[in-house]
């Protein structure tokens, strides 16, 4: 991997599409925060007021970071009556040319699905669905090569995991028990080389091949933008420094208002490669 000198928040002085991996990037599906964002569901974060205007600016910077890394950005239609709709990752699981429309274990999230499904259909993806009694949130699904780790959580049940395994065909699906967090990807994600990074206190490490312990909780969350490029939250500067020292290029963005709603960098987009 190429060396990097540090982190950016977000990177500046680099024209859109100039990332070295831009040729291999795809489309990033996002959805702008709505006016009811502050009413979003909080399960694990310490409740505090959410500044919606600041969240809008932070989301714009997040989208700008995706574009600067060479990703085409497609916005799903607004869902202003759905406070959590900005966390578009929970609505869809995209694998190859298939988009699996999720079915959250929290019925309050299900109104977000139609707009996300329309956006996936407009991208030319084949639509499949998780059906009752299955439940699944996309935030519980972590794809690493041909393996798909799926968290057993309050939002995702065993039936939902079984349905997903069937819909993804030949992929190896590995259920992972989690604790004290909302989703599997609240506890762990994967670096570009497939190495897992996360908090071993929140996941069943017996089913995981490797798990790097981050210096801080927010360090568990990375979005892979390219072969040596990751997107991280500004709340994880120590982890960003460690990854940069390992040769990764790190782009950091402030998502404090979304973190107040149990969100992280992965929640705000669905990458279609």
Q: Are 98 and 79 in contact (CB under 8 A)?
A: no
Cα–chain center distance at 94: 12
Closest CA to 144 of 91, 102, 85, 191: 191
Task: Give the CA distances from residue 253 to residues 4, 70, 193, 249, in Å, rounded to whole numbers and listed in that order.
Answer: 17, 16, 22, 13
Q: Are 253 and 223 in contact (CB under 8 A)?
A: no
Catalytic residue list contains 95: no
Q: What is the distance between the alpha carbons of residues 44 and 64, in angstroms, rounded to a whole number?
A: 28
Q: Phi and psi of 209, rounded to 5°?
A: -70, -30
Catalytic residue among 95, 181, 264, 267: 267
Q: Are 11 and 251 in contact (CB under 8 A)?
A: yes
Closest CA to 103 of 155, 34, 45, 27: 155
Catalytic residue list contains 183: yes
Catalytic residue among 59, 183, 221, 229: 183
The three-class DSSP label of residue 167 is helix
Please list the active-site residues: 183, 267
């Amino acid at each position: 991997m190429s060396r990097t000198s540090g982190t950016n928040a977000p990177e500046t002085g680099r024209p859109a599409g100039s990332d070295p991996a831009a040729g291999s990037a795809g489309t990033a599906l996002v959805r702008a925060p709505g006016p009811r964002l502050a009413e979003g569901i909080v399960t694990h974060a310490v409740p505090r007021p959410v500044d919606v205007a600041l969240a809008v600016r932070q989301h714009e910077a997040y989208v700008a970071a995706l574009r600067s890394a060479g990703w085409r950005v497609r916005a799903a239609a607004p869902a202003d009556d759905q406070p959590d709709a900005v966390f578009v990752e929970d609505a869809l699981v995209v694998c190859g040319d298939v988009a699996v429309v999720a079915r959250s274990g929290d019925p309050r999230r299900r109104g977000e699905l139609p707009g996300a499904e329309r956006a996936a259909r407009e991208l030319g993806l084949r639509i499949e669905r998780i059906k009752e009694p299955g439940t699944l949130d996309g935030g519980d699904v972590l794809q690493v090569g041909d393996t798909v780790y799926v968290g057993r959580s309050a939002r995702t049940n065993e039936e939902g995991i079984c349905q997903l395994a069937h819909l993804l065909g030949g992929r190896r699906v590995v259920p992972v028990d989690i604790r004290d967090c909302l989703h599997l990807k609240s506890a762990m994600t994967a670096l570009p080389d497939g190495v897992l990074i996360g908090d071993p206190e929140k996941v069943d490490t017996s089913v995981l091949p490797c798990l790097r312990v981050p210096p801080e909780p927010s360090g568990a969350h990375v979005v892979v933008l390219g072969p040596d490029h990751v997107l991280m939250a500004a709340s994880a500067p120590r982890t960003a420094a460690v990854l940069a020292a390992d040769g990764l290029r790190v782009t950091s963005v402030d998502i404090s208002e979304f973190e107040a709603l149990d969100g992280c960098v992965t929640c705000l987009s669905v990458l279609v490669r």
